[in-house]
Amino acid sequence: MNNAALYEQANSMQKRDALNFLDDISPKLKWKKSISNILDIGCGDGGVTSMLKKYIPTDYKLLGCDISEKMVNFANDHHCNEQTSFTVLDIAGNIPEGMKGKFDHVFSFYALHWVLDQERVSRNIYDLLSKDGECFAILAASATLYDLYRILSRNNKWSTLLKDVEKYISPYHDSQDPAKETRKILEKVGYVDYKVECKNMVYTYNNFASLWKMLQAVNPFNIPKDMEEDYKQDYLNILKDMNIVPRYNTDEASVNFKYRTLVVHARKPASEF
């Protein structure tokens, strides 16, 4: 999951969704007349962070952050300039005092679902925002991928390597109403003017090979080199059993990858009581 070069090649789904949702939300965002300080949480390789520039005013300072130092180094090497930089930050940890209240806009694209404690994440983003600041995030609510993780973890061959499987499954995966849960958290933390939707999504990969590249890029488990081919084959067999991948012509047939996405837009009040 820390292979930035692989993630850059394999995150076409993430980029497509980020662009589509930004197209929809950008007319609704409220920008300051002066310089805007913007934060992108879970920047990864920095590619999506750079795509943000199409949607923001020309007078800005853009900071991307990620828990992975390897990702941050890659992003700084490929996307850093006088207005854009990247830093290491654990959004589930303690926020540095110097960052609190600093950002007019906080964005995040398919990153926040990696954190089980969603209230902690929501509070940290709230603390990062300036008064009247806005947050816009998309995160995975559920996906076939998580069912695959659980099935593999019950296999004796993989149970030890996948023993912490629940840490890597979206906290909303088993929820009947992820949007309702998220609204409760936002209200509890103190956000106003929030809107939350849960959307059914599908992304079509050309074949299993292209899907596998994406799965490798986001895989959180440390699979030994000499077991990688077995892991791939077991993955493929499960996908066939689930009728997601055809039993024949695997290299040629397209694959529909289904998932649900939470879309969150919220604001920190201009004054707090």
β-sheet bridge partners, residue 260: 142, 200
Where do the structural domains in the chain lie, given as residue ranges? 4-267
Average pLDDT for 74-94:
96
pLDDT tens-digit series, residues 20-62: 999 999 999 999 878 899 999 999 999 999 999 999 998 999 9
**Per-residue tokens: 182:** 């998220």
Mean pLDDT of 241-270: 88
% of the chain with per-residue pLDDT over 70? 98
> Quick check: 251 pLDDT over 90?
no
Query: What pLDDT score was predicted for residue 2?
Result: 60
> Could you report the per-residue pLDDT of 154-185, keeping only the tens digit for each?
999 999 999 999 999 999 999 999 999 999 99
Asked if the model's pLDDT at residue 269 lies above 90, the reply is: yes
Q: Given pLDDT bands bounded at 50, 70 and 90, which one contains residue 113?
A: very high
pTM over 0.75: yes
The whole-number pLDDT of residue 7 equals 79
**117-126, 157-166, 179-188, 210-219 — which is least confidently predicted?**
210-219
The arithmetic mean of pLDDT across residues 216-233, rounded, is 92
Q: Check residue 249 and give its pLDDT.
A: 67
C-alpha distances out from residue 42 to 67, 71, 96, 145, Å = 7, 9, 17, 19
Specify the 3-state DSSP secondary structure of 5. helix
The stretch 69-86 carries a mean pLDDT of 95
Report which residue type is found at 18. Answer: A
**What b/e sequence results for 136-155 when a residue is b if at least 16 CB atoms lie within 10 Å of its CB, and e otherwise?**
bbbbbbbbebbebbebbbee
DSSP H or E run through 262: strand 255-267
pLDDT score, position 104:
97
Q: What mean pLDDT do residues 223-244 have?
A: 92
Between vectors from CA 230 to CA 226 and to CA 232, what angle results, nearest 5°? 110
Under CATH, domain 4-267 is a member of which superfamily?
Vaccinia Virus protein VP39 (3.40.50.150)
